[in-house]
Chain A
Amino acid sequence: MLELTFFNVTNGLIIGAFYALMAIGLSLILNLSGVINFAHGGFLVIGGYLAFTLRPYIGFWGALLVAPFLTAIIGFVVERLLIRRLYGRDPLYSLLLTFGLAFIIEDGTRQIWGANGLPFSVPEALMSPLSTQFFFITGYRMFMVAMVAIVVGVLFVLLRYTRIGVRIRAGTLDLETVAALGVNVRALRSLNFAVGIFLAGLAGVLAAGQIGLEPTMGDSLLMPSFIAIIVGGVGSLTGTLLGGLLIGVASGLTAVVFPSASEAIIYVMMAIVLLVRPRGLLGEEGMMS
């Protein structure tokens, strides 16, 4: 029983790390620009498929490095050309725009790479399990968690200690003042968006290694990302990280006792948070309007 619990909790943490990666990207964009990026799952898909296409030329590690950057560039272009025009307007329009983009990306992916699933193989070295006792913790899963930990860690350091990072953080709190201080807010938003998309692209490559590629794979990660943000607290990246991990672990724990409800638990958690502490675990008051 204990082993089963351990298995599921670890599994939960791994999934949670994944949710967190997606949710943090989404949260970055939401906090600074007030845009709910419905196309976030789509960028995940692009990341995965780009890695697939690049792999024969630059190998797994090359693809892992390059694909997220390429995806980020695509995201940057999208932001500059399309999303930027909508910042002054009712938030409805940017919401609709990303919604439309999600459609375009999904169908586009289907057009270019076909509707069927594609395999994405991972280097032998990563595939072997950690030990015979912990056979389920394959090297790849550890690798994924390690990647997420590194990237999120780097992100947090960048946000805390670099000038741009500080500006982004300040911008989330009070964009007007930041602009008044002479910071180029438009460029900041574009960069911030690109960073968020980078995370999505990376998630795509990692996911591809785990579950292969499919045009609709982004969808199933979008909702947990939303919930991670709601649970963890609007406006707080640490909260989002925490939220992602929490719902992942909760999902894992539930799988021990009640396997079919492991997906439902994250919705239950959202409902509880909304009832008991609407601003989320680490959310700040007044971030809601």
Chain B
Amino acid sequence: MKPELQKQTKQWVRAAGVAAIWAALISAPFWMPLFGGYTALGTRVLVLGLAAMSVNFLLGFTGVLSFGHAAWFGLGAYGAGFVLKWAVLSTPVAVIAGTLLGGIAGALLGALLVRRRGVYFAMVTIAFGQVFYYIAFQWSSVTGGDDGLRGFERQPLDFGAFSLDLLHNDVYFFYFALFCFAVAVTLMALILRSPFGRTMIAIRENERRARFLGIPIEFHIWAAFSLSCFFMALAGALYALLNNFADPRVFHYSLSGDFVIMAVMGGMRTFWGPLLGAIVFVVLQDYISSVTVNWMSFIGILIVLIVLFFPRGILGLIEQRRAA
């Protein structure tokens, strides 16, 4: 096949794939029950998928090893919870507040963190995540401590003429979450396709060359880091709304690890891979923990196998096959 035609076919296949994904997402509440699923599970997948994609934005596309990203997820969750509990009874405000809290905190702390690279960066991000975990645990008067933040619930969306009961109607909430997901994901895609996004990829591909092309590395990494924190916090806010609850575990590095696993499992260098990884992870977790107590071993073994034998992840493997 001539190169031009090949390129065009590739673009069509890609567009069709993306269209299929959106079609599946939009119609999820209708086909999920056929497979034994339920809408809230779908919302959970969306939220965790967004979190995994946010980690991937940094990890897969900039090459930055952030292993404590749950910190921003947790801040998003607690931020949304605080607003609903003590400030304004409004779901959109809660979501925005949570997103801003996590994003801004990430941007501020990120300035401290980007001085380091590689494994040392990972260590520091993990430690930072644990700081928040610790605060959430100890400051029980404010955060509810180990029991978690309770006493808030998602509020109906009031459009004047009618209102959508997000609390009792899982399907409405799914579409709300999907809307937020769509906004975030579209922004991510636009950024990655922009000149700035290309500098991120350049940094991943060859940091030295990027530097000697005139790109101020630390600043660009900080910018990418901060952006990913905003996306992460949005996912966290939605998570809190999904459960009407937030507890310190949303800060723990094991959750950070889960997000990274989802990204790697689905395909770290691809855009939609992490969502796929989230689907597989959530479904597996749901299924395995209903069958056995030892799901921790199972996940552990799965991680080891993936790292050793399938590091490119599902989508990564598929893309490789097609290119070959």
Residues of A with Cβ closer than 8 Å to B? 30, 34-36, 82, 85-86, 89-93, 95-97, 99-108, 111, 223, 226-227, 229-230, 234, 260, 263-264, 267, 270-271, 274-275, 278, 287-289
B116 closest partner in A (C-beta): A288
Contact of A100 among B123, B127, B138, B300 (CB under 8 A): B300
Distance A105 CA – B294 CA, assembled complex (angstroms): 11
Distance A104 CA – B300 CA, assembled complex (angstroms): 5
Contact A101 B127 (CB under 8 A): no
Contact with A along B292-309 (1 / 0, CB 8 A): 001011011111101110
- A289 surroundings in chain B (CB, below 8 A): 116-118, 120
A108 closest partner in B (C-beta): B297
Tell me whether B122 is interfacial, beta carbon within 8 Å.
yes
Known: A103-B300, A107-B294, A289-B116. 4 other contacts (CB 8 A): A103-B303, A264-B134, A270-B131, A288-B117
Tell me whether B130 is interfacial, beta carbon within 8 Å.
yes
- B126 surroundings in chain A (CB, below 8 A): 226
- B59 surroundings in chain A (CB, below 8 A): 92
Contact B119 A34 (CB under 8 A): yes
Contact A97 B308 (CB under 8 A): yes
Knowing A95-B122, A99-B303, A229-B123, the reply to whether A104 touches B297 (Cβ < 8 A) is yes
Contact B127 A267 (CB under 8 A): yes
Classify the interface of chain A: helix, strand, loop or mixed.
helix
Tell me whether B168 is interfacial, beta carbon within 8 Å.
no
Distance A99 CA – B124 CA, assembled complex (angstroms): 16
Distance A106 CA – B298 CA, assembled complex (angstroms): 12
- A-B residue pairs in contact (CB < 8 Å), sample of 28: A34-B118, A35-B119, A36-B123, A92-B65, A92-B264, A95-B65, A95-B122, A96-B264, A97-B303, A97-B307, A100-B300, A100-B304, A101-B300, A103-B300, A104-B297, A107-B294, A107-B296, A107-B297, A227-B127, A230-B123, A230-B124, A260-B138, A263-B134, A264-B138, A267-B130, A274-B124, A289-B116, A289-B118
Contact A234 B120 (CB under 8 A): yes
Contact B299 A100 (CB under 8 A): yes
Contact B311 A89 (CB under 8 A): yes
Chain B residues 242 to 263 lying within 8 A of chain A, measured CB to CB, are 257, 260-261
**Min distance, Cβ B63 to any Cβ of chain A, angstroms:** 8
Closest 8 CB pairs of A and B: A100-B303, A103-B300, A104-B300, A107-B296, A107-B297, A289-B117, A100-B300, A100-B304
Contact of B115 among A101, A223, A226, A278 (CB under 8 A): A278
Chain B residues 40 to 54 lying within 8 A of chain A, measured CB to CB, are none
Distance A103 CA – B304 CA, assembled complex (angstroms): 10
- A270 surroundings in chain B (CB, below 8 A): 127, 131
Knowing A104-B301, A289-B117, A289-B118, the reply to whether A82 touches B124 (Cβ < 8 A) is no
Distance A281 CA – B36 CA, assembled complex (angstroms): 56
**Min distance, Cβ B57 to any Cβ of chain A, angstroms:** 15
Contact A267 B134 (CB under 8 A): yes
- B307 surroundings in chain A (CB, below 8 A): 86, 93, 96-97, 100
Distance A13 CA – B135 CA, assembled complex (angstroms): 25
Distance A36 CA – B307 CA, assembled complex (angstroms): 15
Distance A275 CA – B108 CA, assembled complex (angstroms): 12
B303 closest partner in A (C-beta): A100
Among A30, A104, A106, the most chain B Cβ lie within 10 Å of the Cβ of: A104
Contact with A along B275-319 (1 / 0, CB 8 A): 000000000000000000010110111111011100100000000
Contact B138 A82 (CB under 8 A): no
Contact A106 B296 (CB under 8 A): yes
Contact A288 B115 (CB under 8 A): yes
- B302 surroundings in chain A (CB, below 8 A): 100
Distance A96 CA – B124 CA, assembled complex (angstroms): 16
**Min distance, Cβ A217 to any Cβ of chain B, angstroms:** 16
Contact of B112 among A92, A223, A274 (CB under 8 A): A274
Contact B301 A100 (CB under 8 A): yes
Tell me whether B225 is interfacial, beta carbon within 8 Å.
no
Distance A264 CA – B308 CA, assembled complex (angstroms): 37
Contact B300 A107 (CB under 8 A): yes
Contact A223 B127 (CB under 8 A): yes
Tell me whether B67 is interfacial, beta carbon within 8 Å.
yes
- A100 surroundings in chain B (CB, below 8 A): 299-304, 307
Knowing A104-B297, A111-B297, the reply to whether A91 touches B308 (Cβ < 8 A) is no
- A82 surroundings in chain B (CB, below 8 A): 304, 308
